[in-house]
Amino acid sequence: MARSASALVAGFLLVLALLTLDLAQGQQPFPPTDPSDADALHAVFRQWRLEGEAAAEDPCMKRVWSGSFEINASIDCNCPAFSWAFNRCRITGLNVTGYRNITEIPLALFNLTELVSLDLSNNNLNGLIPPEVGNLSKLETWHFNNNNLSGSFPRESSLLRNLKSLWIFDNNVEGLIPEFIQNLTSLTDLRIYGTKLQGPIPKKFSNLTNLEVLMLGDLGGNHSYFDVIGEWANLSTLSLRKCGLTGQLPNTPPNLPKLTYLDLTSNNLSGSLRLLLPYKNSSFIYIGENSFSERLPPEIVQQNVSLDVSYNRFVNGSLPTVVAGQKWPINYIGTSVDASGTVNSEILTILNCLRMKGCNGSSVTTGADHATFAINCGGKQIDYSDQMPTVFSEDLTDLGGAGFYVNTTSHWVTSHVGSDPFNKSAGIVNIDNILDSDMPELYKTARTSTSSLRYYVVGLANGRYTVKLFFAEIVITDGPGRRLFDIDIQNQNIRKDFDITKEAGGSRKGTNITQEVSVNNSILEIHLYWSGRGTCCIPYKGAYGPLVSAIKVARSQDPTISPPRAPSSDSARQDEKRRGIVAGIAALCIAAAVISSSVVYLWWKWVSLVKRPMA
């Protein structure tokens, strides 16, 4: 035993001596990077032109090449505690984001087989997802959102059984939603939207019992049904916007006790809203643009719940009474909900116009003095004197996560729906200075939304109008962030993936869109909305979706319709001749009728005289 104790002491002294030697030589108390990992990382960074003078450095010694939030190039390593000759650090995390010049995925990357986390989001990667991704079987986090990757998922992706977080959004990947995802039972965070993927959602998604965040959207293809939702005890965010969901909600909806955010917008769900009462304690409930019906349950209308039921035309009932000076955080435009107890008669008249998709002549008319109409979105009233003096009306009402505002003077409405699940979204934004604009004050403020923003002008005379939309990117002013959204006017798309910065030639610069439209039901509708494209979180979470600085609408003359020409002197004489001929024919016809009547009358009298003596 004495010999064993002596050996133990000798071993301890040797460890202490080696550690002391390392420290005396000024070395870190951990070993160098594994040669295979170092070679792979150097090859990847050389292709991406990220190394520069650091090419000779040990990766796990350096770790960070660029460490800002917007642009990041860094690694994580798993290293033994002490620098033993036979121990090596292994690269377990690779984070390269925000480099718009990075367009390819080097195959050497897939030699980093100890990776647990891989974040390649917000670059400019294009082409197919390499099948070699199956080599990274230890991955728990795989984010490649906000790129230009295309094609379908390689079947080797199904080998990534340890995934916990998978972000795919804002890419051009296509095909059906991969079936293998339903087998990734460790997933806690899944986000797939803004792609070309097709439904249906695999039925066994309900097996993903560890989900905390599920965000699917913008799916084409076949219908899906609500039974893909399971009994997910930890789920807090459920967004199934525009997923082709159809049919009624189940009579016993899934139990989601931690749900705080529910978005079922733009589907074809039907049935009673009472089936949503189990989720009434969520902070956000968005179910607009569906086919729900029956009475709006008063229990679901609460001051601390942003609620959207808009464009469910068969939803009826009435709003609960509200304390004076307050209003419910609800958007019910396009429904049959009776709001007479919560708004005045002027507002009610305008809302009824929107519900009926038209106004009769006596209810709401803007009149000739409203031939030009303008709004300073998100800002105070501004007067501009140009060729036609214009007053841009104030638009400063905070609409929260869901709501609308009615201007009863000029008869316009702004309607908003949307909030980021992870950060309170600002509906009105502003900046101190604007570049290169002759109307700078107009571009310093804007109204924005993470989902849907509508403006209506109600009671217009039918005819042609010129719509001018004003934009300036005043939020994403630096870095690699991109705002993309769609624009419809009168239910016709005029811009897809509209990029303000690209259109204006930079941020904080004004740009305009001008569009000629027709009004034939007294209502003009401008709709700006998000389709899952663009970055989500630069410079902060929720910096995405439509943004508009101002709107101007003016009555226009259709250039394709010309006034009738004045008749020439020759044609006038011919017209007079024709009118004379017609008048002569008419006179002859009248004379003939009079003569015929006289003959008939005389014949009748003669017959009467002849018959009288015979009687």
Count of CB atoms situated within 10 Å of the CB of 388: 10
Query: Order of strands, edge to edge, in the sheet holding 196-199?
Result: 126-127, 148-151, 172-176, 196-199, 220-221
Mean pLDDT of 360-375: 61
Q: What average pLDDT does the segment 157-166 reach?
A: 96
Most confident range, picked from 75-84, 105-114, 423-432, 438-447: 105-114
What would the DSSP string read from start to end of 224-238? B-GGG----TT--EE
CA of residue 183 relative to chain centroid, distance: 29
SS3 610: helix
Residue corresponding to tokens 């039907």: 270
Please state, in angstroms and as integers, the Cα–Cα distance from residue 142 to each residue in 145, 221, 366, following that order.
Answer: 9, 26, 55
Looking at residue 369, its pLDDT comes to: 45
Q: What share of the chain in percent tops pLDDT 70?
A: 81
Tens of pLDDT, residue by residue over 224-269, are: 999 999 999 999 999 999 999 999 999 999 999 999 999 999 999 9
- What is residue 459's DSSP assignment? S
Is the pLDDT score of 569 beyond 60? no
Choice among 24-33, 40-49, 52-61 with the minimum mean pLDDT: 24-33
Residue 35, pLDDT score: 95
Percentage of the chain exceeding pLDDT 90 = 71
Tokens of 373: 């109409």
pLDDT category at 332 given cuts 50, 70, 90 is: very high
Average the pLDDT over 511-538 and give the result. Answer: 96
Q: Report pLDDT for 559.
A: 41
Residue 545 sits at the vertex; the CA angle it makes with 539 and 549, to the nearest 5 degrees, is 90
DSSP structure class, residue 213: E
pLDDT band for position 390 (50/70/90)?
A: confident
pLDDT of 603:
47
pLDDT of res. 563 = 33
pLDDT of 581? 52
The pLDDT, as a whole number, for residue 356 is 74
CATH number, span 31-163: 3.80.10.10
Average pLDDT, the chain: 86
217-223 long-range Cβ contacts below 8 angstroms, 24+ apart: 217/192, 217/193, 217/241, 217/242, 217/243, 217/532, 218/193, 218/194, 218/242, 218/531, 218/532, 219/177, 219/243, 219/244, 220/196, 220/244, 221/176, 222/198, 223/199, 223/247, 223/268
**DSSP H stretches of helix in 239-397:** 345-356
Q: Starting from the edge strand earliest in sequence, which strands make up the sheet with 382-384, in order? A: 382-384, 390-395, 372-377, 550-555, 463-471, 511-519
Where does the pLDDT of residue 575 fall: very low under 50, low under 70, confident under 90, or very high at 90 and above?
very low
Enter the pTM of the model.
Answer: 0.84
Is residue 389 pLDDT above 70, yes or no?
Answer: no
> What are the pLDDT digits (tens) for 192-207?
999 999 999 999 999 9
- DSSP label at residue 411: T
Q: Are 446 and 472 contacting, i.e. CB atoms less than 8 angstroms apart?
A: yes
Could you tell me which of 477, 566, 479, 463 has the C-alpha nearest to residue 516?
463
- Is residue 86 predicted with pLDDT exceeding 80? no
Contact yes or no for 105/82 (Cβ under 8 A) = no
More confident residue, 496 or 561: 496
Using pLDDT thresholds of 50, 70 and 90, give the confidence band for residue 105.
very high
Partners of 240 in the β-ladder = 216
| Spatial CA neighbour of 239 closest among 271, 200, 204, 193 | 193
Determine the pLDDT at residue 587: 52
Whether 165 and 187 have beta carbons less than 8 Å apart is answered as yes
The candidate with the shortest Cα–Cα distance to 382, out of 514, 511, 549, 555, is 549
Domain with CATH 2.60.120.430 in the chain: 367-555
Checking if the pLDDT of 76 tops 90, the result is: yes
Which pLDDT belongs to residue 557?
67
CA 97 to chain centre: 23
DSSP class per residue in 541-597: TT--S-EE-EEEEEE---TT-PPPPPPPHHHHHHHHHHHHHHHHHHHHHHHHHHHHH
Q: Is the peptide bond before 31 cis (omega within 30 degrees of 0)?
A: no
Instruction: Report, as an integer, the average pLDDT of 318-336.
Output: 89
Angle at 328 between CA 327 and CA 330, to 5 degrees: 130
> What is the predicted pLDDT for the residue at 327?
87
Query: Each residue of 7-44: pLDDT tens digit?
Result: 554 554 454 454 444 444 444 556 899 999 999 999 99
Q: How far apart are the first and last CA of the chain?
A: 169
Lowest mean pLDDT among 380-394, 559-573, 597-611: 559-573
Indicate if the pLDDT at residue 385 is higher than 90. Answer: no
Lowest mean pLDDT: which of 69-83, 291-305, 416-430, 513-527? 69-83
Predicted confidence band at 357 (pLDDT cuts at 50, 70, 90)? Answer: low
Which residue's structure tokens are 């000029």? Answer: 410
Superfamily (CATH) of domain 367-555:
Galactose-binding lectin (2.60.120.430)
State yes or no: pLDDT of 282 exceeds 90.
yes
- Tell me where in the chain the CATH 3.80.10.10 domain(s) lie: 31-163
Please state, in angstroms and as integers, the Cα–Cα distance from residue 337 to each residue in 309, 404, 572, following that order. 10, 14, 61
Is pLDDT at 345 greater than 70 in this prediction? yes
- What pLDDT, on the 0 to 100 scale, is given for residue 424? 87
Contacts of 252 (CB under 8 A, 6+ apart): none
* SS3 label, residue 126: strand
Average pLDDT over residues 93-111: 96
In the prediction, which pLDDT does 57 show? 86
Lowest mean pLDDT among 338-342, 461-465, 512-516: 338-342
